């Protein structure tokens, strides 16, 4: 199995600049290894932008931030054909999607056609403009954010589009000790900016190492009983009455086959990052909430009773037998 020491160094590099968001860092690295995209929900100021920007500094790749607004057009992110009068022809001018790491900030503020253009690019790794297909760079990772506080003037992402995201990650405020570390880190960085010529040694993960790591993740052993456990979790969202009457009352629609594939890829990446050469039930359980959170639709009664998808996933993990 490919050694994950380079990814350990990448994690240390990111953690040196991001305090108190270990789960977000871990999920970003899993998404990078699993060729997936993240939907991150959290209040402003929780280092969402900083996290993906620092990740871009740690790999051979570039970063671009797109602020989604109600007046945004699909061409604003995909690119457009520009007429060149000197040549008398049209030339494609690339949009911001033609970068390795994309931050789609407040994705739910853009209208549906813009969201669809982004989600098509995420799924196909290409965009089509004026009948011509243009391939996006590799690696290509989108981290879209949503603000759970302010919902005025937003366009809700339909469930079918949410399903395109590998994981839906929720983040919260740091504790007091982490907040103190953030304060001191900000002070050090402000001081370094005032010192001419003071540069920090950056760690850069090559694309070659990343490709080898992706192959290694796919080769991580998963026993048949663990694979069956993974499948049972997804099946329990679709036929909850077979597992529990309580589950059948709270789940309206279950997870799609994309959830099965996402659980598999993410569990393998989680195990590999932990230095294991096999996937255990604990790896599946560790990423179950982030993979299933946006793929389960609750019944009206469940929402009326204050149920959340997190609580439903807790019930799933309790009712489905662990091998």
**All domains of the chain, ordered by start, with CATH?**
5-190 (3.40.50.300), 220-319 (1.10.8.80)
Q: In whole angstroms, what is the distance from residue 9 CA to residue 58 CA?
A: 9
C-alpha distances in angstroms, 24 versus 46, 183, 188, 270, 290? 10, 19, 23, 13, 11
pLDDT-derived band at 201 (thresholds 50, 70, 90) equals low
Q: Which string of DSSP letters, residue by residue, matches 59-107?
A: BT--EEEEE--TT--HHHHHEEEEEETTTTEEEEEE-TTSSSEEEEETG
Q: Could you tell me how far CA 239 lies from the centroid of its own chain?
A: 27
Work out the average pLDDT over 271-275. 95
CB 291 within 8 A of CB 274: no
Dmax (CA) of the chain: 71
pLDDT-derived band at 39 (thresholds 50, 70, 90) equals very high
pLDDT score, position 151: 61
DSSP β-ladder status, 79-84 and 89-94: antiparallel
Q: In whole angstroms, what is the distance from residue 201 CA to residue 192 CA?
A: 13
Report the percentage of the chain scoring pLDDT > 90. Answer: 48
Between 45 and 319, the higher pLDDT residue: 319
Q: Is the pLDDT of residue 134 over 80?
A: yes
Cis peptide upstream of residue 139 (ω within 30 degrees of 0):
yes
Q: Could you tell me how far CA 92 lies from the centroid of its own chain?
A: 29
Work out the average pLDDT over 52-60. 90
For 221, residues 6+ apart whose C-beta sits below 8 A from its C-beta are: 277, 278, 279
CB 265 within 8 A of CB 222: no
Q: In whole angstroms, what is the distance from residue 163 CA to residue 254 CA?
A: 11
This prediction's pTM: 0.89
pLDDT score, position 109: 86
pLDDT-derived band at 276 (thresholds 50, 70, 90) equals very high
Reduced to 3 states, what is the DSSP secondary structure of residue 153? coil
pLDDT-derived band at 149 (thresholds 50, 70, 90) equals low
pLDDT-derived band at 111 (thresholds 50, 70, 90) equals confident
Q: Is the pLDDT of residue 197 over 70?
A: no
Work out the average pLDDT over 76-99. 87
Work out the average pLDDT over 176-190. 86
The string of pLDDT tens digits covering residues 211-244 is 999 999 999 999 999 999 999 999 999 999 988 8
Between 18 and 192, the higher pLDDT residue: 18
CB 98 within 8 A of CB 136: yes
Nearest to 117 by CA among 70, 161, 65, 67: 161
Whole-number average pLDDT of the chain = 88
Work out the average pLDDT over 109-138. 87
pLDDT score, position 34: 94
pLDDT score, position 290: 96
Between 132 and 2, the higher pLDDT residue: 132
CB 135 within 8 A of CB 126: yes
């Amino acid at each position: 199995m490919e050694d994950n020491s380079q990814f350990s160094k990448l994690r240390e590099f990111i953690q040196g600049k991001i305090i108190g968001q270990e789960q977000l860092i871990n999920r970003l690295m899993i998404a990078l290894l699993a060729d997936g995209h993240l939907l991150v929900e959290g209040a402003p100021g929780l280092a969402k932008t900083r996290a993906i920007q620092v990740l871009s500094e740690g790999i051979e790749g570039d970063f671009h931030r797109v602020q989604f607004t109600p007046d945004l057009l699909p061409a604003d992110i995909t690119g457009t054909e520009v007429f060149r009068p000197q040549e008398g022809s049209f030339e494609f001018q690339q949009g911001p999607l033609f970068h390795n790491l994309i931050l789609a900030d407040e994705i739910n503020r853009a209208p549906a056609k813009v969201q669809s253009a982004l989600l098509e690019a995420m799924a196909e790794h290409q965009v089509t403009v004026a009948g011509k297909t243009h391939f996006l760079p590799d690696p290509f990772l989108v981290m879209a954010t949503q603000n759970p506080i302010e919902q005025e003037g937003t366009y809700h992402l339909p469930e079918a589009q949410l399903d395109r995201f590998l994981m839906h990650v929720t983040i919260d405020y740091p504790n007091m000790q982490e907040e103190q570390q953030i304060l001191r880190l900000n002070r050090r960085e402000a001081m370094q900016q005032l010192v001419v010529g003071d540069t920090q040694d950056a760690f850069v993960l090559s694309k070659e190492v990343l490709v080898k790591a992706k192959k290694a993740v796919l080769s991580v052993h998963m026993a048949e009983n663990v694979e069956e456990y993974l499948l049972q979790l997804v099946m329990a969202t679709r036929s909850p009455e077979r597992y529990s009457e309580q589950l059948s009352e709270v789940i309206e629609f279950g997870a799609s086959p994309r959830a099965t594939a996402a659980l598999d890829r993410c569990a393998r990446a989680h195990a590999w990052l932990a230095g294991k050469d096999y996937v255990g039930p604990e790896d599946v359980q560790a990423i179950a909430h982030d993979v299933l959170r946006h793929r389960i639709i609750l019944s009206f009664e469940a929402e009326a009773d204050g149920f959340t998808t997190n609580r439903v996933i807790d019930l799933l993990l309790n009712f489905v037998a662990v091998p």
